[in-house]
Structure 1
Amino acid sequence: MKHQPDARPAARARVARNTVSEDLVVDAALRLLDAQDFEQISMRALAAELGVGTMTVYTYFRSKDELLQAVRNRVLGGFHPPTATGEWYERVAACCLSLYEWLIERPAVLRVLFACPPTEGDFAATATTALELILFELRRAGLDRLDSARGYATLLQYTFGAALRQLYAGDATEKAGHVRARLDALSPELHPTIVDLASELARTHENSTEQYVFGLDLIVTGLRVKAGASRENE
């Protein structure tokens, strides 16, 4: 369910053109993206958000794509892994959880990352610090080169996928209620196990972070086992 603004915001007072900057335009785009999909964002809507004429926005960005790339660069540089202690797998899990929470904190982040067309050099900007931290820990744990790369890819795919699911899931309590209603409508003769676990299945929709942490633990546990086997085979 996509978030719909409760009401159209009041028109902003117009401001002098020389008070606008690239940073302010990007800030305004992020505010709009927090509330709606990027397809709904236009240079005209952005100008209205800033209280300036549309041509003022074009002074700083020649097109919507150019603007969204600037927004993308801003959000990609906004994640910084936490300083974590403990075993290697605890540090990896802490980094992934922090990334997940960062992604779901502002809808604009995911909308920009998944909506904007990639450009040359995006890889270097995409949470490179997290990439270095996770790969370093996986290698130090004993995983070989390919398994380390695949382990990182699995962790990131799961993290981004879970965050994207949360973005479009809507209200958690409402979602859990809908899931429970659909499960209760199933035939216990045809689907006895599903019906028996209906309450537990509905609960997986009640708290997205709790569900994410459960899956993250499964992945990290598998990596621990694989790392242990690699050390034994050395």
Structure 2
Amino acid sequence: MTVTQQARTPRRRAPRNTLNPDRILDAAVVLLDRDGAEAFTMRALAAQLGVGTMAVYSHFRSKEEISDAVAQRLLSEVELPAMGEAESTADAREQLREVCRSVFRLFADHPSALQLLTTRPMRGDEAIAVIDRMLGLLRAAGLDRVDAARAHVALMQYTVGSALWNVRRDRALCEDGLRDRVRARLADLPADRYPALTELVPELAIAQDAGMAQYELGLDGLLTGLIGPGPRSAR
């Protein structure tokens, strides 16, 4: 649809007196996940809601204020164990694993959270609560102050990097026929030049599409290196 066509298309307005902060944030999440932070403007959000731009400003002072509120709303979905629940290193490790999985799942479900939290970090109580709980669990697992801080950074780097890789790969593969073209390219590689890759093309494709299972494989390896083997490894 061209800009001219969009201008001629009548906007379906929301019923009067129905706009509220929760509805604005719901629409902001949809808009950010669908179009990305680069396309997120107050005008686009108002169009998503079917209202005039000034109606949005009556609830939020700026796009930045909405972005912060969206980030905190999404972070509130991360499941945090209660303080004092970890009674052993194994308990702390397992709870830390679940927090990391919850953060990864949030980023996978809401690419907007990944963009907002990596460009506007440490805003609001929810972000601070996640960091505090992870550090507490690392200390409960027996790590000293320096190791706990460095382990937290390593876990977040891995989680954010994995989520970003998955989001970008999924978006790239949405291009028509790209997945088939990639597979055809790999199938045509000369085995004498790339022996390891050509041998493992099917297994590599499975691993790249594994999502959470692939993330957990790396997470468990990282936790084992940082803290020690968990109950699954001990069996």
SS of the residue corresponding to residue 87 of structure 1 reads helix
Counterpart of 1:141 in structure 2 is: 141
Structure 1 residues 10 and 105: alpha-carbon distance in aligned structure 2, compared to 1, 3 A threshold: farther
Conservation of the 8 A alpha-carbon contact between 1:82 and 1:98: no
State the alpha-carbon separation in 2 of the partners of residues 92 and 175 from structure 1. 37
Letter of the 1:93 partner, please give it. Answer: R
Per-residue CA distance 1:115-148 (angstroms, 9 max, x = gap): 5x45xx627541x333333322322332221111
Counterpart of 1:105 in structure 2 is: 109
Q: Structure 2 unaligned runs (5+)?
A: 1-5, 230-235
Conservation of the 8 A alpha-carbon contact between 2:72 and 2:124: no
Counterpart of 1:20 in structure 2 is: 19
Structure 1 residues 87 and 68: alpha-carbon distance in aligned structure 2, compared to 1, 3 A threshold: closer
Percent identical across equivalent pairs?
37
State the alpha-carbon separation in 2 of the partners of residues 82 and 141 from structure 1. 14
The CA RMSD over aligned residues, in Å, is 3.0
State the alpha-carbon separation in 2 of the partners of residues 67 and 225 from structure 1. 41
Counterpart of 2:151 in structure 1 is: 151
Counterpart of 1:4 in structure 2 is: none
Letter of the 2:115 partner, please give it. Answer: R
Q: Does 1:214 align with 2:213?
A: no
Letter of the 1:92 partner, please give it. Answer: L
Runs of 4+ in 1 over 4 A off after TM superposition: 8-11, 82-86, 171-179
Per-residue CA distance 1:44-73 (angstroms, 9 max, x = gap): 222222222122122223332232223223
Counterpart of 1:122 in structure 2 is: 123
Q: 1:188-199 residue pairs with structure 2 within 5 A? A: 188-199=191-202
State the alpha-carbon separation in 1 of the partners of residues 99 and 155 from structure 2. 10
Structure 1 residues 130 and 178: alpha-carbon distance in aligned structure 2, compared to 1, 3 A threshold: farther
Counterpart of 1:46 in structure 2 is: 45
Letter of the 2:102 partner, please give it. Answer: S
Counterpart of 1:230 in structure 2 is: none
Structure 1 residues 95 and 72: alpha-carbon distance in aligned structure 2, compared to 1, 3 A threshold: closer
Letter of the 2:54 partner, please give it. Answer: M
Q: How many Å apart are 1:166 and its aligned residue? A: 1.7
Q: How many Å apart are 1:222 and its aligned residue? A: 0.5
Conservation of the 8 A alpha-carbon contact between 1:97 and 1:213: yes
Conservation of the 8 A alpha-carbon contact between 2:143 and 2:227: no
State the alpha-carbon separation in 2 of the partners of residues 205 and 10 from structure 1. 44
Q: TM-score, normalised by structure 1?
A: 0.77
Letter of the 1:208 partner, please give it. Answer: G
